[in-house]
Amino acid sequence: MSNDTKCGPENCPVINWGGLSPDEQRAQRRSRAEKLSAQGFTEAAIAATLGVSQATISGDLKLSTVDKLKPAKTTTNPKGAGRPKGSRKTTGPQQDRRTDLPEAADLVLDAGMSYEKAAELCDASLQVVRASVAREEGRRQAQPHIDPGSLSMSARGRAEAYIRQQVRKFALNYQQKVAALNLQAYKLATKLWDEVLLPKHKQRLADAERILKRRQGVMTSKEYRLIWSCLHPDQVSDQEKKHRYSEAFDIFRRVQKLLLDEKQLPTEELQDFRMQFTDAVKQRVKEERRAKRRANGSIMRA
């Protein structure tokens, strides 16, 4: 390390910096201090050479180091610091910033659910759930217990009216949620029926109808009715035979379409079960609405 510096009019800071502004002098000093530091001079030696304090030289060298770490100036980033305009800072997964979850506290305090299960259902961290439970416990303890007997008649009447109002509000909210869930279930069931079950069902109906209409039969309608009447259980008086005749009568009735041809026993048009399903759902909705109206009437009377 060399401890000598060149001296002369061209290297003297007092002569060279005399006509400069303070900012220009500071820039020149930082440049000279950086060069001397790179040559191995100490901060004290640089300060003595440039005629300033060691603290000033220390600050100049630190600023020089920070400037080197900044991004270079470009056309898209003329300031040289920070990220270019229009670019986005890449970050990791967003952390849950929620700090108070009353619904999680209700699950733990009222439903008896564990902290872990409540955190899973509410999609929150265990720490947030514990803090929410602590806040809810504090709120509940801060609420004074009011004895209805200590209230005046007018205050008690207002309190009871308020309670009835809240009960009706809760019942209405519950009914709306149930109706929304029922509607969602109906849409899912209809979609399943239309896209999966109905095409298969129609195909099977078409196959069955085609087979039935092509049947030839083995006897006439008159012959069928003759044999069927002979199998009627009223033809015998013995109880054991009545039971056997009854079974034979039912069996012969079930094979009617196999014994007669299409002309003698035309195939009736097969119904679309979707219409039956829709009618059943509509009837179910009507019954539920009727039950809700009765329940609301009982709440109002209470």
Tokens of 167: 């009960």
Domain ranges of the chain: 13-69, 102-142, 155-216+261-301
Tens digits of residue pLDDT in 25-74: 788 888 888 888 888 888 888 888 888 888 888 877 876 665 555 555 56
- CA angle 140-142-145, nearest 5°? 80
Tens digits of residue pLDDT in 186-224: 888 888 878 888 788 788 888 877 877 778 888 888 999
Tens digits of residue pLDDT in 241-280: 899 999 999 999 998 888 888 888 887 765 555 566 667 7
- CA angle 197-202-203, nearest 5°? 100
Q: Would you give the DSSP letter of residue 150? A: G
Long-range contacts of 282-290 (CB under 8 A, 24+ apart): 285/182, 288/182
- CA angle 28-34-39, nearest 5°? 130
Give the H or E element holding residue 246: helix 239-254
Tokens of 163: 């309670």
Which residues touch 20 (CB under 8 Å, ≥6 apart)? 28
Tens digits of residue pLDDT in 134-172: 888 888 777 666 666 676 777 778 878 878 888 888 888
The answer to whether 130 touches 115, Cβ cutoff 8 Å, is yes
Tokens of 74: 């470009």
Could you tell me the CA-to-CA distances from 238 to 43, 229, 231, 248 in Å, in that order?
130, 17, 14, 15
Task: State residue 247's pLDDT score.
Answer: 92
3-state SS, one letter per residue, for 25-74: HHHHHHHHHHHHHHCCCCHHHHHHHHCCCHHHHHHHHHHHHHHHHCCCCC
Residue with tokens 């005046």: 152
Give the H or E element holding residue 135: helix 126-142
Task: State residue 1's pLDDT score.
Answer: 45
Q: How far is CA 26 from the centre of its chain?
A: 59
Tens digits of residue pLDDT in 280-290: 777 888 888 88
Q: What is the mean pLDDT of residues 124-140?
A: 87
Which amino acid, 279? D
pLDDT of 90 above 70 = no
In terms of pTM, does the model score above 0.75? no
- pLDDT grade for 18, boundaries at 50, 70 and 90: low
The whole-angstrom separation of Cα 128 and Cα 95 is 12
Give the H or E element holding residue 187: helix 153-192
Give which of 268, 277, 283, 285 is closest to 197, Cα–Cα: 277
Q: Is 82 in a helix, a strand, or coil?
A: coil
